[in-house]
Amino acid sequence: MAKPRQRASQPRHDLIVEKDLEIPMRDGAGLKADVFRPRSGARFPVIINLGSYQKDKLWVPPADLEEEPNPHMNWETVNPLWWVPRGYVALRVDSRGSGKSPGRTDPWSPIEARDFYDAIEWAGRQPWSNGRVGTNGVSYFAMTQWLVAGLRPPSLKAMIPWEGAADMYRDFAYHGGIFSFTFVVNWYNNHMAHHLL
């Protein structure tokens, strides 16, 4: 017998936006982040993403999608206008060399995974955080989740990855054992370059 339908949580909180906070990394580097949080003195779970697609690049969905555009939308990341009113903090972090974070970009590298670990633990210690951190994102942002999960950050309690390769060799570079030249070159030249420049 099926369980009765559960209603989704209802919006109850107004939004506070904090732009360009610096998150310290273990090697002394600092990554820039935007925090979207409820206007409340309470502590909330945090949903974070980290990647090279620039936190400040607005994404406006095509008109035929159900999702309504809003001034805080960003490509393949957590939507603060849905999550924050329902009692979550949304945290977007520019990885090294992208957006406002200095350094050299190195997608899906051990350094990027360690940086994500440090950002998760930083989020878990903030006064607006209840210490429970989840990750969220599509494609690139899903793939960074798989990598950081392998490092087992203590504050990481949940993941919401979708449409992200779990095996970089088979899913990304060599589909069926054949080098995916067109995909790799087009992804970097057309997508990464757009977000890095």
Quick: pLDDT tens for 96-113. Answer: 999 999 999 888 899 999
Q: CA geometry: angle at 154 spanning 13 and 151, to 5°?
A: 120
Low-confidence ranges of the chain (pLDDT < 70): 1-6, 8, 58-69, 191, 193-197
Write down the CATH number for the domain with range 15-166: 3.40.50.1820
Instruction: Give the whole-angstrom CA distance, residue 162 versus residue 145.
Output: 10
Quick: pLDDT tens for 39-78. Answer: 999 999 999 999 988 888 766 666 666 666 677 777 788 8
Sign of CA dihedral 75, 81, 82, 86: positive
The domains of the chain are located at: 15-166, 167-197
Q: In which order are the strands placed within the sheet that holds 156-162?
A: 15-24, 30-38, 89-94, 44-51, 129-138, 156-162
